[in-house]
Structure 1
Amino acid sequence: MHRYAKRGAFLKLRNGLYCLADQPPSELVLANRLYEPSYISFEFALSHYHLIPEAAYVITSATTRPTRALTSFGKTFEYHRLKKSAFTGYEPVKMGQEAILMATPEKAVIDTLYFTDLRKKELNDRLDLRTLSRKRMRSYAQLFERPSLLQLLKKVMG
């Protein structure tokens, strides 16, 4: 494979992961494949669902593996570790011809609030929760088994 990559037939995405040079994957597919298992969440998903007004330039994902940041094709991909019992609430989302794994809107909010509760992320004060299911958000928050997360969710929901 290394030889074919040197000839230009394949592109190396990371050690052991290659793609055809004339068919590179989209950034979102790449985010799912670079560090598995993972699904897109946090700020990137919140921006995708228009729950925050800002655009996200770093693709942020949840994983059960250790937290890390990777760079491929000049793009930064961040992966944040969640406990296995909370690694749920994502689904395939069709993007053109490809399907990627992305958190549901409610799960993206809870993943973000979890790291806010741990003081590892800032809370976006322009988070728009009006269209989301409160019941689903509470259900996802309970997976983390943190009373302080449930209190934060209650505060944010108003």
Structure 2
Amino acid sequence: MDKLTPIKVLNKLTQRKLAIFSIQDFARIVNTSPKSAKAFLSRHTRSGNFARIKQGLYIATANEPAKFEIANNLVRPSYISFETALSYHKIIPETVYSITSATTQRSQSFGIREQSYQFYRIKKTLYFGYTPIKLRGSVILMATPEKALLDYVYLVSLKKKDTVERIDLKKVDTDKLGKFVGVMKRRLRK
């Protein structure tokens, strides 16, 4: 590796629009071996230039990605849903402090840079009803208002969540909600 500095690396990452990257991504971008990339990231993570968000996944602290982008990359596949999406779509008035996502992987949670991320497993047949949204220059997968509500009710029915008192149903498309309920009923019977 020819004298790489965190600034040079940050420029290369920014040029490629990579806010979250693996050791392999890093090695490819700076044209070095994975072993050298790992050593560089380890050294510069200790100095605070980079942060490891989970095993093998890093961010540059000077150009930190949006929290929703981190959530979409921590566990794949996943999309923002439940209380976080309900709050984002202004269906519940509460501010949500933990970012909640739906995934077909196992349920798990992470604490990263003073932010809590929770992933709830849903059946593969229920993994639908999300859309890409542009946020701070990144594309994020977010549940539609109707699907966020149904995902939430699904977890309440499994006793994994308590019910929310204040829900503003005026912001929910009841026709779309009805279609999603029909799809979920059919898929849950299988």
The equivalent of 2:40 in structure 1 is 4
CA distance in 1, matches of 2:160, 2:90: 22
The equivalent of 1:84 in structure 2 is 124
Q: Which runs of 5+ in 2 are unaligned?
A: 1-36
Moved over 4 A (4+): none
The equivalent of 1:150 in structure 2 is none
The equivalent of 2:110 in structure 1 is 70
CA displacement at 1:143 relative to structure 2: 3.6
Q: Which amino acid aligns with 1:98?
A: S
- Of the three residues 135, 138, 144, the one matched with 1:104 is 144
- Is 1:15 the counterpart of 2:55 in the alignment? yes
Aligned residues of 1:44 and 1:56 also touching (Cα < 8 A): yes
Larger proportion of helix: 2
> What fraction of aligned residue pairs are identical, expressed as a percent?
37
Using the size of structure 1 for normalisation, the TM-score is: 0.85
CA distance in 2, matches of 1:119, 1:6: 41
Aligned residues of 2:91 and 2:171 also touching (Cα < 8 A): no
Using the size of structure 2 for normalisation, the TM-score is: 0.72
CA displacement at 1:10 relative to structure 2: 3.5
CA distance in 2, matches of 1:131, 1:71: 31
Q: Number of aligned pairs?
A: 147
CA displacement at 1:49 relative to structure 2: 0.9
CA distance in 2, matches of 1:96, 1:26: 7
Q: How does 1:119-130 map to 2 (within 5 A)?
A: 119-130=159-170
CA distance in 2, matches of 1:84, 1:126: 29
CA distance in 1, matches of 2:159, 2:103: 18
Rg comparison, structure with higher value = 2
Once superposed, what is the RMSD of the aligned Cα atoms?
1.8
Q: Secondary structure at the match of 1:12?
A: strand
Deviation string 1:56-107 (CA, Å, 9 cap, x unpaired) is: 0000000000111111112110000111111011111111211211000111
The equivalent of 1:45 in structure 2 is 85
CA distance in 1, matches of 2:40, 2:183: 45
Q: Which runs of 5+ in 1 are unaligned?
A: 147-158
69-78 vs 48-57, which deviates more?
Answer: 69-78
